[in-house]
Amino acid sequence: MGKTNSDVTIGALLRNRVIQTILLSTLFLQIGIWVRNYSILLFVVEKTNENPVAVSLISVAEFAPIFLFSFIGGTFADRWKPKRTMIWCDFLSAVSVFVVLLTLIFGTWKVIFFATLVSSILSQFSQPSGMKLFKLHVKEELIQMGMSIYQTIFALFMILGPVLGTFVYQHYSINAAIGVMGVAFLLSAGILFRLPADYEMEERGENTSILQEMKAGFSYVWHSRALVLLGCCFAAAGLAIGLTQPLGVFLVTERLGLPKEQLQWLMAAFGIGMILGGGLTVGVSKKTPPQILLALGMTVSAIGFFVLGISEWFWLTLTAQFFSGLFMPGIQIGINTMILKNTEAAFIGRVNGILNPLFMGTMVITMTASGWLKQTFSLLAMYETSALLFIIGVLFLVPLFKGRTVGLKKSKEV
Task: Work out how many domains the chain is built from and give that number.
Answer: 2
Q: Which of 12-16, 51-55, 148-152, 164-168 has the highest mean pLDDT?
A: 164-168
**Region for 345 from its dihedrals, namely left if φ exceeds 0, alpha if ψ lies in -120 to 50, beta otherwise:** alpha
| Number of Cβ atoms within 10 Å of the Cβ of 204 | 15
pLDDT greater than 70 at residue 1: no
Looking at every residue in the chain, the average pLDDT score rounds to: 81
Nearest to 84 by CA among 171, 196, 186: 196
Check residue 111 and report its DSSP letter: G
Taking only the tens place, the pLDDT of each residue in 307-336 is: 998 888 989 999 999 998 888 888 888 888
Judge whether 285 and 9 are in contact, CB under 8 Å: no
Band the pLDDT of 50: cuts 50, 70, 90.
low
Whether the CA torsion 217, 66, 167, 112 is positive or negative: it is: positive
Which DSSP string do the residues of 372-398 spell out, in sequence order?
Answer: HHHHHS-HHHHHHHHHHHHHHHHHHHG
The pLDDT, as a whole number, for residue 402 is: 65
Are 109 and 217 part of one and the same domain? no
- Please give the single-letter amino acid code of residue 296: L
Question: Which of helix, strand or coil describes residue 312?
Answer: coil
pLDDT greater than 90 at residue 392: yes
Cβ neighbors of 60 (< 8 A, separation 6 or more) are none
The pLDDT, as a whole number, for residue 107 is: 65
pLDDT greater than 90 at residue 88: yes
Residue that terminates a domain, selected from 168, 186, 206: 206
Residue that terminates a domain, selected from 156, 179, 206: 206
Judge whether 389 and 233 are in contact, CB under 8 Å: no
Percent of the chain past pLDDT 90, that is, above it, reads 12
The pLDDT, as a whole number, for residue 56 is: 66
Are 353 and 303 part of one and the same domain? yes
CA distance 398 to 252: 35
Are 296 and 379 part of one and the same domain? yes
Are 188 and 309 part of one and the same domain? no
Are 221 and 190 part of one and the same domain? no
The pLDDT, as a whole number, for residue 319 is: 92
Cβ neighbors of 365 (< 8 A, separation 6 or more) are 239, 242
pLDDT greater than 60 at residue 134: yes
Are 148 and 220 part of one and the same domain? no
| Greater pLDDT, 14 or 337 | 337
Least-confidence region, from 2-11, 51-60, 383-392: 2-11
Are 271 and 192 part of one and the same domain? no
Are 238 and 201 part of one and the same domain? no
Whether the CA torsion 376, 378, 383, 384 is positive or negative: it is: negative
On the 0-12 / 13-18 / 19+ scale of CB atoms within 10 A, 33 is: buried
Are 173 and 247 part of one and the same domain? no
Least-confidence region, from 122-131, 173-182, 241-250, 378-387: 241-250
Instruction: Look up the CATH number of the domain holding residue 389.
Output: 1.20.1250.20
Residue that terminates a domain, selected from 150, 172, 206: 206
pLDDT greater than 90 at residue 302: yes
| Number of Cβ atoms within 10 Å of the Cβ of 155 | 24
The pLDDT, as a whole number, for residue 205 is: 45
- Report how far Cα 217 is from the mean position of its chain's Cα atoms: 21
Taking only the tens place, the pLDDT of each residue in 327-368 is: 888 888 888 888 888 888 788 888 888 888 888 788 878 877
Nearest to 405 by CA among 230, 285, 282: 230
Are 260 and 325 part of one and the same domain? yes
Are 327 and 221 part of one and the same domain? yes
Judge whether 144 and 337 are in contact, CB under 8 Å: yes
∠ CA 402-403-407, nearest 5°, is 130
The pLDDT, as a whole number, for residue 61 is: 75
Are 121 and 186 part of one and the same domain? yes
Nearest to 146 by CA among 13, 286, 294: 13
Taking only the tens place, the pLDDT of each residue in 141-175 is: 777 777 778 877 887 887 788 888 888 888 888 88
The pLDDT, as a whole number, for residue 52 is: 64
Judge whether 86 and 192 are in contact, CB under 8 Å: yes
The reply to whether the predicted model has a pTM over 0.95 is: no
**Domain span including residue 349:** 213-413
Judge whether 278 and 325 are in contact, CB under 8 Å: no
